[in-house]
Amino acid sequence: MSKRILIFLVLGVLVVVLAAGYFFWWRPWAKERLIKIQMGEARSLWPWQDYTQEELGKMYPQIRNAKVATTITPEETYAKFREALKTNNLELALAQISHTNGKRYNENKQTLEEAYRDKRFTAAYNEYPEKIEKEYMAESIAQYNYDKIIDKEKFSNSIDFVKNEKGVWLIDIF
């Protein structure tokens, strides 16, 4: 009789230990793993290991096109943009605008199309001076400044650029 009680007691303790292990260790660990898998921070196959920082860096680069070599500088893009305005060439002007932000691209495109339709490219050309000065440049974004004089008053403006996957710096905000 005491042997039977001892077996039931050992089995009862074993069940309690396994249940506690499940609720206090396995379940939270598995839930955390599933969240990391859904977020793309851990492998989806057993043993569900976390990706290393190097693997995450390759999978999710923090700075887009940072390692892409520059093929066309912001100054060259700006010069082409001015040339497009001077020659009343809408296609060339649109080719100098970045597509990375769809909403901003559509706004820039609409502005250029309206100016083209209203024959204001020549006036716009006169508003953009030949020379721009670099204010800030990082791996894939840049800001340049230029001054324009209106009624003998000097005003500073800026123009933003982003680098695309081909290494071409395009106008983001003008």
Q: Does 138 lie in the same domain as 85? A: yes
pLDDT of amino acid 63: 79
Question: Is 144 in contact with 131 (CB distance < 8 Å)?
Answer: no
Q: Mention every residue, 6+ apart, whose C-beta is less than 8 A from residue 38.
A: none
Tokens of 111: 């502005």
The residue type of 29 is W
| E strand intervals along 13-152 | 133-137, 141-150
Q: Are residues 98 and 159 in the same domain?
A: yes
Query: Do 146 and 113 have their domain in common?
Result: yes
Q: So what's the pLDDT on residue 1?
A: 67
Question: What's this model's pTM, rounded to 2 decimal places?
Answer: 0.66
**Which residues form the domain of 47?**
2-59
Q: How far apart are CA 12 and CA 20, in angstroms?
A: 12
Residue 94 · residue 170 · CB < 8 Å: no
- Residue 69 is assigned to a structural domain of this protein: no
Please tell me what DSSP assigns to residue 166. T
> Would you give per-residue pLDDT tens digits along the chain (174 residues)?
688 888 888 888 999 888 877 777 777 777 888 888 888 888 888 777 888 888 887 777 777 888 889 999 999 999 999 999 999 999 999 999 998 877 889 999 999 999 999 999 988 898 899 999 999 999 999 999 998 877 788 888 999 999 999 999 999 987
Q: Which amino acid is at 1?
A: M
With vertex at residue 66, the alpha carbon angle to CA 106 and CA 93, rounded to the nearest 5 degrees, is: 30
Domains held by the chain: number: 2
Q: Are residues 17 and 90 in the same domain?
A: no
Same-domain status, 143 and 89: yes
